[in-house]
Chain A
Amino acid sequence: MYIYRSTINTLVLILLPALGGMWTLQTGMLNISQEGSMLVAAFFAVFGSYIFSSFWMGLFFAIIASLVFNLIYALFCVNLRANIWVIGMALNILASSLTILLLKSIFGVKGSFTSDRIQQIPFVHLGNLGIFNGVFNDFSSIVWLTLILVILFKYIDSHTTFGLHLKAAGKNWRALDSAGVSSIKVRYMSILINAVLVGISGAYLSIGYLKLFNKDMSAGRGWIAVAAVIFGNGNFTWTIIATVAFGFMDALGISLQTYGLNSNLTMMFPYLAIVAALIYQGVKSSKEKAIEE
């Protein structure tokens, strides 16, 4: 039960950016600044929640910060056609230094900030469910929001014209443009939707279960989401499968610590799993290619 609950809790963190990243990848833009966006959002969630003592303001600030961050990405990568790796990495580095700088300048602390004035995102208590208490009760409201979003994304992805436009923007943007739909607009839409999701995920990171901001607290979760997106290659089902698998490994690592395994060893679990998965995928697809030829 413990592993189940902690899997759900870490899963949300990865699932939101993975969903958003899946759509930007469909339009042909792999977004690798997820780690940085998450970090900036986490900082501004704490900031907003602290200033106004309201988690709503925390969420609001987190989403705005993530939007600004992703607009820079969009401006460079969509309009100026800059290299996504250069801009993505630059933004990730920017996020790390900027949040440390703001921690020092606004709160006057070096590595981490917490306060009683910070309001947490509320949990959902469904009343007494008997044996299902552990299964459904007392998750963060973000968990339920994520569940709704997954269903919504599944529907939009495969049943609406917008879902088609996303794929067209990636596969053949000229055709999309000549059909009267601006591919640039579609790309911007996917990037902005992703920004909102990453913003929520960042807020969940800092004011979901905790009430604090640590420097570099995203700790590679954004990268795990990027790995899941690459593994899923724009396909909804595979992206979800990869995310759940990586999230589970992450949670498994954390819970094995309680059985006395060294935490630094167990922290390696999700990364080893991703390396294994990527190698498997690579070997498989190159074999398929060999057969085709």
Chain B
Amino acid sequence: MSEKYRGFLIVVISFFLSLVLGGFLIMLYKVSPIEGYKVMIFGALGSRYMIYSTLARMVPILLTGLAIAISFHAGIWNIGAQGQLYLAAFVVAAMGVSFHDIPTAIYLTLGVALGLAIGGLWAWLPGYLRVKYNVNEVVLTIMLNSIAIYFTTYMTNGPFRTSQGSLGATNVIDKGMWFNHISPLSNLNTGVFVAIVAVALIVYLMLFAKHGYEWKMMRLNPRFSVYGGVSVKQNMILAMVISGMLAGLAGMLLVMGDYHRFLNGISPGYSWTGMILAMMVNYDPIGVIITSFIYAVMTSGGLRMELILGIPQELVQIIFVASVMFVTAGYALANKVANRMQEEG
């Protein structure tokens, strides 16, 4: 059996098993699993607006999922997508409330560029320190998350505190910087096209370009890739920066597209979700696209499930964590079987 096929099979079986587990959990709330999942799917895809909302929900998860896939794929652990997202989102919003009367085309470009730059920069720092001084990037990025989040919270309570009602946010950004909503009832906006371009680029980069191959080699066998002439250090930093840029893009789209301002809770754990999804499919970009769609459907529907059936929406996250565990166990068992067969054969 080819490796790719085996991985696919493990992921599908694991996901199915975790759905079964989820079914048992749903039964604890005295609801039949079929009814529960039916409400979930209808809540996400039952009407045009529901589909729009589901897609709007999918965008940040997909982008952070790819951000994490690309760095983990290269063997450097960017746990800091949350911080990169927050900082980029805030800086873009700060620009949006500070400057006015700039032509829309220029302002949009500036906003996108700034978001990418800030996200990339906040990821470059731990990447550089990891490569140059061997500082543990996992702890570093987690600390940088906290710093970014407290910093932005400080700014929205201090210098950039809103003068328009609700607290914990900046003012609404200049209209010239808006990606407009596609329909008034959902947050889906024209920024989604920027996201599509970015996703296409990343898929190309990871699956078809030389870099993607080198990254994979670096993760699987760093020593060999050095002999093969791969500059491991530069590639690691590059993967980290691209990862940060994607997280920055997610944050920037939330500000310029979804909310048109920066909010303190702008990302309710998108990056953690993205991480679970990326781990579940073993950092395969196509896999991330598929799972983030399924995840968006399930959370979107999860909200409705909570509303109608009284089942907490966190159930969805638990189902996905369970499938990560099943996948991990599946790979471990498959390797064990393969080793044994090798020994016997």
Contacts and interface: CB of A to CB of B under 8 A. Distances in A.
A278 B137 CA distance: 10
Contact of B325 (A81, A87, A227): A87
B240 to A, nearest CB: 15
Nearest to B139: A227
Interface string B301-312: 000000000001
Given A80-B332, A265-B154, A98 B318 contact: yes
Given A262-B158, A275-B140, A278-B140, A93 B321 contact: yes
B137 to A, nearest CB: 10
A93 B318 CA distance: 8
B144 interface: yes
B91 interface: no
A267 B150 contact: yes
Given A90-B325, A230-B136, A286-B134, A101 B318 contact: yes
Q: Say whether chain B's binding surface is mostly helix, strand, loop, or mixed.
A: helix
Interface string A125-166: 000000000000000000000000000000000000000000
B40 interface: no
Contacts of B312: 100-101, 104-105
Nearest to B142: A223
A79 to B, nearest CB: 8
Nearest to B155: A264
B157 interface: yes
B139 A279 contact: no
A219 to B, nearest CB: 9
Please indicate which of the listed interface residues B77, B138, B273, B332 has the most CB atoms of chain A within 10 Å of its own CB: B138
B26 to A, nearest CB: 12
Given A90-B279, A268-B151, A279 B143 contact: no
A89 B78 CA distance: 12
Contacts of A264: 150-151, 153-154, 157
B146 A80 contact: no
Interface string A261-293: 010110110011011001101110110000000
A210 interface: no
B317 interface: yes
Contact of A94 (B146, B151, B321): B321
A257 to B, nearest CB: 12
B324 interface: yes
A32 interface: yes
B337 interface: no
B146 A279 contact: no
A97 B158 contact: no
Contacts of B132: 286
A252 interface: no
A227 to B, nearest CB: 5
20 contacts: A76-B325, A76-B329, A80-B332, A82-B328, A85-B138, A89-B79, A93-B273, A93-B321, A94-B317, A97-B321, A98-B314, A98-B318, A105-B29, A223-B143, A262-B157, A267-B150, A271-B143, A271-B144, A272-B147, A286-B132
Given A98-B318, A264-B150, A282-B133, 14 more contacts: A80-B328, A80-B329, A82-B328, A85-B138, A93-B273, A93-B321, A264-B154, A271-B144, A274-B139, A274-B143, A278-B143, A279-B129, A282-B134, A286-B133
Interface of B: 29, 77, 79, 129, 132-136, 138-140, 142-144, 146-147, 150-151, 153-154, 157-158, 269, 272-273, 275-276, 279, 312, 314-315, 317-318, 321, 324-325, 328-329, 331-333
